[in-house]
A = this chain, B = another copy of it.
């Protein structure tokens, strides 16, 4: 492809900016990434671009106007990335991108800086070759990984001026590079932090042990009580709003075969796990979860220290599915922990953020066009699938703007997004650009 290295070089510069949104005192890097993206938009053919200040990290907004009489699409992405910790598990520096084995290794190589560049490259191509049929509005945010608060506020304030017919997003993956697919659904998310406090200071575990409740023991007991041995959630009412898929729908979802042996090898587990009577695909798409993302308390150093700690913390998250809502589930989890915590300790539960699940209608025109574009690039019949991940802003777009999002992403499971050694395959980068060019060529709204 023409200009292919050109895009990669720009992407590598973008990846060097450590735009970790969850990190405090990082606004300089966030701003740097936003400015960089604004300049790329202008360089790649936008009429107009600006960095919009928010109460959090800035939004990058741009426009390319073809005609007043045509419809508008939004291209959405996010320039913020996940924290790179644990750093010691990276083989290379997360913010010094390296190309090895035809893959780019860096935090954000896929999620979402790499995928943003697929969109930008395709955009540049269709502009230069004069077949852009629709007006384009670019909306890139810096808070996707921490709840998209500022973008939601901005969308709410500006919704009258954003008159779009479709949102196109490359922030998802496909089942395999030999099984191109489009994401038609997403799980939602709730994320909470739990603090269990026992004695006001760490106590000697010998002098006090047996008479004073240990906040770590209690926290473990509370967490353990949430699920049965197969991960089914036991909080009363948790499944009340879950849509049970019928046998036809389940059959459609399960059409894509997954090589479980390969899946296990790739992530290094001996056995898979999960709710009884659901397949691997179902467990990771249409069923909700409860995972502890982090836990800490007491002595974590070398050797041994014999204490009853004063306090213990956990970060817990639940992936939710249609028609659960993040508000209701977050409150259910919060209330559960508060209710079951024994009176020997005090407990605080903070809801950190949440996002709703999402579903795209199977007969949407853009979905059909995207499927054809994928088939043309990959020469394989594409599949539709529901991702287990969450992009809370996608359901917000629907709620605030009333517009559906096409989730046409090019990530692979092996890209290790959110984890050490995140990477992106150059071949997927190239095929992504080809697919999007074909899509924009043929899109009829």
Contact = CB atoms under 8 A, between A and B. Distances in A.
Given A202-B418, A267-B201, A303-B146, A295 B216 contact: yes
Contact of A291 (B214, B219, B291, B317): B214
A66 interface: no
A207 B274 contact: no
Interface in A180-212: 187, 189, 191, 193, 198-212
A280 interface: yes
Question: Taking each of A86, A225, A306, which has the highest tally of chain B beta carbons within 10 Å of its own beta carbon?
Answer: A306
Contact of A344 (B272, B292, B300, B306): B272
A445 interface: no
A289 B304 CA distance: 17
A306 to B, nearest CB: 5
Nearest to A416: B201
Contacts of A267: 199-201, 203, 208, 212
A12 interface: no
A268 interface: yes
B299 A315 contact: yes
Interface stretch (A98-106, A154-162, A368-376, A385-393): A385-393
Interface string A279-319: 01001100111111111111111111111111011110101
26 contacts: A22-B302, A22-B305, A23-B302, A146-B303, A191-B306, A199-B269, A207-B387, A207-B413, A209-B319, A210-B287, A211-B283, A212-B273, A216-B314, A219-B220, A219-B295, A220-B224, A221-B223, A224-B225, A269-B344, A272-B344, A273-B344, A294-B307, A295-B297, A298-B315, A300-B315, A307-B419
Given A82-B305, A210-B274, A294-B299, A268 B200 contact: yes
A236 interface: no
Interface string A7-28: 0000000000000011110000
Contacts of A213: 231, 269, 271, 273
Contacts of A284: 207-211
A352 interface: yes
Nearest to A300: B296
B283 A199 contact: no
A193 B388 CA distance: 34
A420 interface: yes
A361 interface: no
| Copies of this chain | 2
B270 A229 contact: no
Contacts of A201: 89, 267-268, 416, 419-421
A437 interface: no
Contact of A389 (B83, B207, B344): B207
A18 B189 CA distance: 47
Given A224-B224, A267-B212, A272-B212, A418 B22 contact: no
Nearest to A201: B419
A183 to B, nearest CB: 11
A287 to B, nearest CB: 5
Nearest to A258: B211
A81 to B, nearest CB: 11
Interface of A: 21-24, 82-83, 85-86, 89, 145-147, 173, 187, 189, 191, 193, 198-214, 216-217, 219-221, 223-225, 227, 229, 231, 267-275, 280, 283-284, 287-310, 312-315, 317, 319, 342-346, 352-353, 387-390, 413, 416-421
Contact of A280 (B205, B211, B295): B211
A220 B297 CA distance: 13
Contacts of A221: 220, 223-224, 227, 229
B292 A306 contact: no
B206 A85 contact: no
Contacts of A271: 213, 343-344
A394 B422 CA distance: 53
A294 B297 contact: yes
A206 B223 contact: no
A298 to B, nearest CB: 4
Contacts of A231: 210, 213, 217
A322 B97 CA distance: 60
